[in-house]
Structure formats: C-alpha cells, structure tokens
Structure 1
C-alpha cells in the first residue's frame, strides 16, 4: 500500500508505523504502566482544561481520572468538542490548556493560535484503527474499498446501496458520521474521499449517537475511532477495508493498525499550549500523560495503539524544552 496513504497534511504510514512500532498485541500488553508515584500527599492544586477530539477523549479522560487520583486538589476537565472545534473555539483563543486531535493541526489553526499568542506543541501519543461499521442486520457487505467508500461519503450522489453496487439492496442509505468540526471527519475526507465529503448525513460529536444509529436501521453506515467499536462489538458490524480493488481487505484491529496492514490506521495527538505549561498543574499533568502513553491500559482498556518508548522520549524532550529544563 502507498506510503502516502495518510494524505498530504498527515503523518505518513511509514512514519506512523515507525512511531507506534510493528509489534504484536501481546507485546503491546507487555508495556509497563507508569505513574509519578507521588500519591495524594502533595499540595499540587489548580485546574487543567482539555478540549478537542472525541477520538482522543477516551485516552485524555482516563489520564485525567488517574492523575486526579494522585492529585485530588487538581481538577482536570476533558470535553469532546472535536479537533477543529477545540482549536477554533477553545484552544487557539486561549481558553484551553490542551487540545486533543485526530489529525495534524491546520495552517489556519496555527495562524489563529498565533494571533492570540498561543503556541501549540505537537505530541504524537497513540495510534487508531478508524472503523467503518454497519448494522449487524446487514448481510450483503463485509468489506469495502476506498473507492466504494468515496462513492458513498464523497458527495451526495449516492442515495441507495444499489447506487454503489447493483447487487446491494435498492434501499436508502442511512448515514451517521462525525461533525464537520471533527478531526476524524477531516482525516476521512482527505485520505478516503480525496478532499470532499457529502453533506446529507447525520453529523455528531457523540460517537455513541453513531452506534445507536447503526443499531436502529439495517441500511445504516457510520465511521468512528476504534475505541468506540471495541466497546460496542456486540452492537455493530465492522467492515474489512481494502485501499484498492486488488488489495486483500483487512479488519480493524490494534495489531493491524500497528503493523501497517490496516489502511485506515492513523496517528493521534495532543497539543499543549507552551504558555500553559508555565502553570505547575498543567506541566505535571502533561508529564504524567506522556509518561503513561506507553502503558498497557491504552490498548487493554481504551482500545488504541500505545506509544513506544521512542515516542515517549521525543515527547518528553519537547516538554522539557518548552519548560526550559
């Protein structure tokens, strides 16, 4: 498969695989958990505000809960606003300390941040196997190519399943997906659809709404981060994906995302604001976050590919440089 599969504004698959490591799920589970070990006896206090990607939300939310267990006087709030919504409405205006993102920050977002003296620091913290799913009652399709997906999601011309394949039912497509403020929407638009996206679908920042939509109609389809699929495998049916017609389709899994055999594998990021790191609670939370991105619970409990030690070291160096250490 092509090395530029992640698109012109995203991390290449080669770099992504090098970052997350071509390791087995068993090896992923062998990563050791870490903590700052301070317990709850310190006097660290204050607030940390995290906005952004609903895909990154499960990681950030779990990080926040674990950090607050160690530091009960610190309040870490995590809200899934979408990658773009977080940058536009919260992070770049200076009203959030960290933004989660399921794609790279855009040039216009960098400019918006700069207008407000906000300096984002890019940190690649995990990997995802973006999942396309249908109703469990769907018995006519088990796999799709990028071309078939683009026919459905690229514009509004396809209205029935049979518009894509005459062997499929002549029934109306019921489509559920991320809102336009979502990084998942941006990534899918760029890397699968070729730069366009249909407007006639139900867009939401709540991935559970997509799951519910798939349950309610045998003619439904949606896409979302792997973590939401892994929590709901008994409620929806994931499709195997092939980048091109001649390729063998691959099912979404942490293993396939890690070794590069799944074509919808993608990197996940957090962007702390450099200025916010001057506040001790923010610095300590980001430090805790980065130290734990290689922990086994990232795979076992959340459903994403953990960082390897090289990624952790690179991110820690960025953090130390930003803090002047």
Structure 2
C-alpha cells in the first residue's frame, strides 16, 4: 500500500560516507508487503551494528515498488516474484541495471474464517474454477455440492502485488489473470482483518501473515493432484514449503539492487549483511531459509555484480528451485570465462 512506510532512523547523514571509520549513509527500500517483515528484521539488526546508517523500508507492493525502482527513486526493491518483462524493459530504458538476489522461500496460504466448518481441503482445480477470469462461482455449494448454500466472498492480494501475480500463475495458469470481483489489497493486514471478520470468506495471503494470525484464520490444505509432491491434501507450513510438498503455492522471494547504488558503502554493507543473516532471521518472521549453498551463490552473484534476472526477466515461474538456477548461471559464467 503506497505511502505506508517504516522509517528506521538512527544518527547519521549522507549517502554512504565514511567518517572517522564509522559507516554512515542511508538505504532506500520499497516494494512487497510479503518481503517487508524479513527486510524490516534485517534492517533493525543491521542498524544495531551500523548506527550511522538510516534504512527506510516502504510498502507499495512488488509492482508499485518496481515502478519506483526503475525511476531510480529507491536503492532496493523487495519483490515476491521475479521481475516482469515490462519492468525489465523500463529499467533498460531508464539506464537502471539491477542485481536480482533471492533471500528466502515463502508459501501462499489459502485461508478461511475460523467459523468455516465445511472446508478442510481444496484442489488446485477447484481453486482455478473459483478464481479464473469470468468465473460464475458465487456460492460455496457451487464449488462442491456438499458445501453449504452460502455466499462465497473472496479476498486476495491487489494487482500491484507479487503475491497476486504468483497466485494467478500457479492456480489459473497465467500471471495477472483472474476474476475482478474480489476484495483486494496490497496490505496483507487488511486482508487478515477482512477474512477474520467474514464467516463466508475465502482468501490467499503470504504464509508469514497466516503464521502471525493463526488465532484469527483457518488454513485450507491444498491437493495439487501430483503424488510426487506428497499424497493428498497438504497444509501450508514452513516444513511443507521447505520439503517441496506444498505445491504449487511455494515460491522464492527476492530483493533487487540498483547496480550503481550497490557500490555505495552503506548499500553494499546492507546487502552483504542481508545475505549473511537471512538464514537466521527468516524463520523468526515466518519464512523458510534458502539452502546454505543458495545464499553463498547469491552472495557471490552480488560481489561479482552480476546483473539481470536468473528467470530471464519473464516474471513468475512455478515450481523452480533458485539454487538450481544459480548453479546453472555460475556454470555458464565459468564456461564462458574458460
């Protein structure tokens, strides 16, 4: 949601200046509400170590954040999906080179009101029929005949959200394609409030926000029909995201760094700190850490200032493992160097 800012302030001024051995400066961040809790946690720990740096973290959704990022208004963009082709094109037009860095895994939880006693599991096909463009499903018994004849009120991430993009890609089969008659917000706390107050609600939110609000929401298990991902209905949890059984709604989350700003001492120190501490901080705020190898490869990617997207700038991709893409990129780089 644009304009919502966490301003983490301490003494210090300037943009990455060294004064008497003390790192000073500022780091401007915006973007995904999904990635926000992790970036906020990293920023708080970072400023304990570097009290001369001011880190500002905003929430305007992945898409809204990219709009600012490609205009050079921010140093870093939090993103809950890879950069899309139109955003990549705008970055190129504006002379913005970016470094894409995965920082954790997240799941998207499908949730209902705790008063809902009729649904425990939904299939991907049922979710597709509910959410696809021009869907005519407006009552629970249209989803499954055994469900009650009650209104079906839908809640989900706004269209500027990377959570919306990934959910539509995974469930409907096309990023940014869905019915439009649902309560939407880029602020996940607004969705939590809406669903927790509506007995007929069905919505989707980042797993971290469900974990924070388990007393207000009920998670629905998902059956993707693929026995390779686990048999039957799989509940969202850090464990099922980590072991790959919660599909197709598990995804990596990212930060994007302006390559020019990456050479600023304050920004550079913040990114190094982020990648070195994300594995510890991610579980504390409800996310699943990447493997140690993935963090090492991401740090190597940053230190080598490798620009562009390991996803080819094509936006959300379902079912891929970032460590595999990072390995392939390094192998390709090493092969070229030889």
Q: TM-score, normalised by structure 1?
A: 0.83
- Verify: 1:248 aligned to 2:232, yes or no: yes
Consecutive unaligned residues of structure 2, counting only runs of 5 or more, are 1-19, 307-338
Distance 1:320 1:137, change over 3 A: same
CA distance in 1, matches of 2:148, 2:260: 55
Q: CA deviation at 1:307?
A: 2.1
For residue 250 of structure 2, the aligned residue among 247, 259, 265 is 265
Structure number with the bigger relative contact order (C-alpha 8 A, sep ≥ 6) is 1
Consecutive unaligned residues of structure 1, counting only runs of 5 or more, are 1-40
Partner of 1:34: none
Q: Is the 8 A contact 2:42 2:278 kept in 1?
A: no
Q: CA deviation at 1:281?
A: 0.7
Q: CA deviation at 1:278?
A: 1.7
Partner of 1:303: 286
Deviating above 3 A after TM superposition, structure 1's stretches of 4 or more consecutive aligned residues are: none
- Provide the aligned length of Structure 1 versus Structure 2: 280
Q: How does 1:115-126 map to 2 (within 5 A)?
A: 115-126=93-104
Partner of 1:200: 181
CA distance in 2, matches of 1:154, 1:121: 33
Q: Deviations over 1:12-37 (max 9, x none)?
A: xxxxxxxxxxxxxxxxxxxxxxxxxx
Partner of 2:297: 314
Distance 1:42 1:224, change over 3 A: farther
Q: How does 1:285-296 map to 2 (within 5 A)?
A: 285-295=270-280
| DSSP-derived class of the 2:22 partner | coil
Point out the more displaced range, 134-143 or 110-119.
Answer: 110-119
- Verify: 1:103 aligned to 2:87, yes or no: no
CA distance in 2, matches of 1:175, 1:46: 44
Q: Is the 8 A contact 2:25 2:52 kept in 1?
A: yes
Q: TM-score, normalised by structure 2?
A: 0.80
Q: How does 1:212-251 map to 2 (within 5 A)?
A: 212-244=193-225, 247-251=231-235
